Amino acid sequence: MNIGQAARASGVSAKMIRYYEQIGLIRPAERTDSNYRSFSERDVNDLRFIKRGRSLGFSVEEITNLLSLWRDHTRPSREVKAIADAHVSDLRARIAEMQAMADTLTALSEGCAGDDRSDCPILIDLAEGPKPRAARIEDHNGATS
């Protein structure tokens, strides 16, 4: 199986296959007499594993670990779960961050006419920093943050 065929079969681009080989994520492929890489079904399965891992947002480094856990069927599921859970935490943290950005911007955009006038709370916020959000009445009671 050529690299192109392996690419089509796995959904991983030929460029990426070479890259994964180069960084040691996959074993160096066999070579034909003419120096073409030659892939087995098993190689393609590994590539599919990698592809799926990437689509779940795992870094190549995490996939390296997951792949070695997968190959060694005696390893405890604890290790796999730890990697996955750490990744989920990471995802959720980044989601929260981006959600906050989106919410802030949405609020600012709603206050922006979006017409010919130049007045725009978005620019004001960028220039002057975040305006304190509508103060909650409870806060007057001296609860120090």
Q: What span, in angstroms and rounded, lies between the C-alpha atoms of 102 and 96? A: 10
Picked from a copy of itself, DNA, none, the partner binding residue 32 (CB below 5 to 8 A depending on kind) is DNA
Q: How far is CA 71 from CA 50, 57, 74, 89, in A?
A: 13, 20, 9, 25
Binding status of residue 19 toward a copy of itself by CB under 8 A: no
Binding status of residue 73 toward a copy of itself by CB under 8 A: yes
58: three-class secondary structure by DSSP:
coil
Angle at 21 between CA 19 and CA 13, to 5 degrees: 50
Interface with a copy of itself (CB under 8 A), residue from 77, 141, 144, 145: 77
Binding site for a copy of itself (CB under 8 A): 45, 48-49, 52-53, 55-57, 66, 69-70, 73-78, 80-82, 84-85, 87-88, 91-92, 94-95, 98-99, 101-102, 104-106, 108-109, 112-120, 122-123, 125-127, 129-130
